[in-house]
């Protein structure tokens, strides 16, 4: 009899623990964010820097191959004609990526590098959120055809990430790319053109801190 009670108790405790785990999972991942399990930690850390995106509908999805890039953020086509507030976004994550001809598996990326990378993509979403439908269409067309436009859009995404306080992660992602790109001069030139340099990031951090200090 005593044995029976204790086993009932054990089951009860086990169930309570399970419920707790569910509650924690549920609290961490709002329904409007769809996140692959393997990246839950990294994506949630990146999202925590963007309180403005808490209610935004964002799906993170693996894709076997994305042309030319590792990750790509864009509005979802199905939600395009909804109001700006109800627009949904998708962040496509390539399963593999190349840095100067060397193949990497995305899930093998160091944690902080991954967080930085996702932080950059969320920067793009912040940028899209400020755009009207017609502006987004123009944005898409220019992004396809104009090199300088791409550079501006990428640098803007980096700037949003730094403004949100993610500079450490952005710098780590950059370091990772640069330290793995051998001496591929062309690739390095491309990175320099399209993304913020460490010096520019520091400058933005200084600006942000000055603004924060003056607001106090």
- Only one of the segments 24-32, 105-113, 151-159, 164-172 lies at the binding site for Zn ion (rule: CB under 5 A); that segment is 151-159
To Zn ion, the closest distance from the beta carbon of 123 in angstroms equals: 8
To Zn ion, the closest distance from the beta carbon of 77 in angstroms equals: 19
Q: Which of 126, 124, 121, 125 is nearest to 106 (CA)?
A: 121
- Beginning with the edge strand found earlier in the chain, give each strand of the sheet holding 57-63 in spatial order: 33-34, 57-63, 88-94, 71-75
Q: Rounding to the nearest 10 degrees, give the CA dihedral for residues 190, 192, 193, 194.
A: 80
Toward Zn ion, which CB reaches closer, 42 or 154? 154
Residue count, binding to Zn ion (CB under 5 A): 2
Q: What is the DSSP letter of 165?
A: T
- Only one of the segments 16-24, 153-161, 175-183, 201-209 lies at the binding site for Zn ion (rule: CB under 5 A); that segment is 153-161
Tokens of 151: 């550079």
Toward Zn ion, which CB reaches closer, 91 or 157? 157
Distance CA 170, CA 117 (A): 7
- Only one of the segments 19-27, 53-61, 134-142, 157-165 lies at the binding site for Zn ion (rule: CB under 5 A); that segment is 157-165
Binding site for Zn ion (CB under 5 A): 154, 157
């Amino acid at each position: 009899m005593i044995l029976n009670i204790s086993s009932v108790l054990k089951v009860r405790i086990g169930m309570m623990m399970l419920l707790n785990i569910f509650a924690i999972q549920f609290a961490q991942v709002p329904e409007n964010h769809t996140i692959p399990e393997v990246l839950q930690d990294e994506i949630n850390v990146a999202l925590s820097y963007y309180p403005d995106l808490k209610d935004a509908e964002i799906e993170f999805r693996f894709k076997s191959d994305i042309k030319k890039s590792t990750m790509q953020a864009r509005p979802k086509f199905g939600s395009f004609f909804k109001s700006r507030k109800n627009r949904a976004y998708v962040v496509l994550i390539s399963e593999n990526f190349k840095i100067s001809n060397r193949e990497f598996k995305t899930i093998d990326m160091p944690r902080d590098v991954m967080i930085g990378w996702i932080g950059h993509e969320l920067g793009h979403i912040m940028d899209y959120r400020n755009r009207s439908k017609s502006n987004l269409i123009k944005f898409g067309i220019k992004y396809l055809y104009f090199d300088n436009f791409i550079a501006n859009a990428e640098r803007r995404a980096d700037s949003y990430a730094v403004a949100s306080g993610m500079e450490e992660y952005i710098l780590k992602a950059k370091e990772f790319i640069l330290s793995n790109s051998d001496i591929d001069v062309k690739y390095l030139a491309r990175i320099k053109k399209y993304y913020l340099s460490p010096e520019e990031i520091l400058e933005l951090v200084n600006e942000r801190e000055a603004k924060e200090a003056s607001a106090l």
